[in-house]
Structure 1
Amino acid sequence: MIEIADEAGVRVVTLARPERRNALTPDGLDALEWAVTDADQPVVYLRGDGPAFCAGADLDVVADLDQHEAESFAEHGQRVANAVEATDSVVVAGIDGAARGGGVELALACDLRIATAGATFAEPGVSLGLFGAWGGTVRLPRIVGEGEALDLALSGRTIGADEALRMGLVSRVVDEPRLVADEIAGNDAETLRALKTRMRDDAASGEQETAEATTFGRLVERHADAIAEQRGKGE
Structure 2
Amino acid sequence: MTYQNLLAVEENGIITLTINRPKALNALNQQTLKELKQFFGQDALAVEGLKGVVLTGAGPKSFVAGADISEFTGLDAQAGLEMAQHGQDIFFLIEEFKVPVVAAINGFALGGGCELAMACHLRVASEKARFGQPEVNLGIIPGYGGTQRLIQYLGKTKAIELLMTGDMIKAEEAYRLGLLNYVTPAGEEVAKAKELLEKIATKAPIAIQKVIECVNSHFSKGGFEKEVIEFANAVNTEDFKEGASAFLEKRAPNFKGH
Please give the range of the TM-score, normalised by the shorter of the 2 chains: 0.7 to 0.9
Q: List runs of 5+ in structure 2 lacking aligned partners.
A: 220-258
Q: How many percent of aligned residue pairs carry the same amino acid? A: 35
Which residue pairs with 2:218 in the alignment? 202
Instruction: Quote the Cα distance in structure 1 between the aligned partners of 2:74 and 2:19.
Output: 23
Q: Tell me by how many angstroms 1:202 deviates.
A: 2.7
AA aligned to 1:24 is L
Of 150, 166, 169 in structure 1, the residue corresponding to residue 179 of structure 2 is 169
Structure 1 gaps, min length 5: 204-235
User: Over aligned residues, Cα RMSD in angstroms?
Assistant: 1.6
Other-structure match for 1:80: 90
Alpha carbons 1:10, 1:181 under 8 Å: kept:
no
Equivalent position to 1:141, from 151, 166, 191: 151
Please state whether the residue corresponding to 1:169 is helix, strand or coil: coil
Deviations 1:6-61 (A, max 9, x none): 11121111110011111112221110122234323121100000110002210010
Residue in 1 aligned with 2:162?
Answer: 152
Inter-partner Cα distance in structure 1 for 2:180 and 2:89: 22
Tell me which moved more, 91-100 or 190-199: 190-199
Q: Secondary structure at 1:6's aligned position in 2?
A: strand
Tell me the TM-score normalized by structure 1.
0.82
1:167-215, Cα deviation, whole Å (9 max, x unpaired): 1111110131222332233223344323323333339xxxxxxxxxxxx
Q: Is the 8 A contact 1:15 1:48 kept in 2?
A: yes
1:42–1:192 contact (8 Å) kept in structure 2: no
Which among 9, 16, 26 is matched to residue 12 of structure 1? 16
Aligned 8 A contact 2:14 2:54 in 1: yes
Task: Give the alignment's TM-score, normalised by structure 2.
Answer: 0.75
What SS does structure 2 have at the residue aligned with 1:30?
helix
Tell me, in whole angstroms, the C-alpha distance in 2 between the residues paired with 1:185 and 1:143: 21
Partner residue of 2:25 out of 21, 24, 48: 21
Q: Deviations over 1:92-151 (max 9, x none)?
A: 000011011010001110000111100001111111111111011111111110111111
Aligned counterpart, 2:209: 193
**Correspondence for 1:180:** 192
CA distance in 1, matches of 2:173, 2:218: 28
- Determine the structure 1 residue equivalent to 2:81: 71
Of structures 1 and 2, the one with the larger relative CO (CA 8 A, separation 6+) is: 2
Contact 2:124 2:193 in 1 (8 A): no
Alpha-carbon deviations, 1:75-107, whole Å to 9, x = none? 111111111101102000000110110100011
Q: Which amino acid aligns with 1:53?
A: F
Between the aligned partners of 1:11 and 1:172, the Cα distance in structure 2 is 20
* Among 93, 104, 117, the residue aligned to 1:94: 104
1:124 correspondence with 2:140 = no
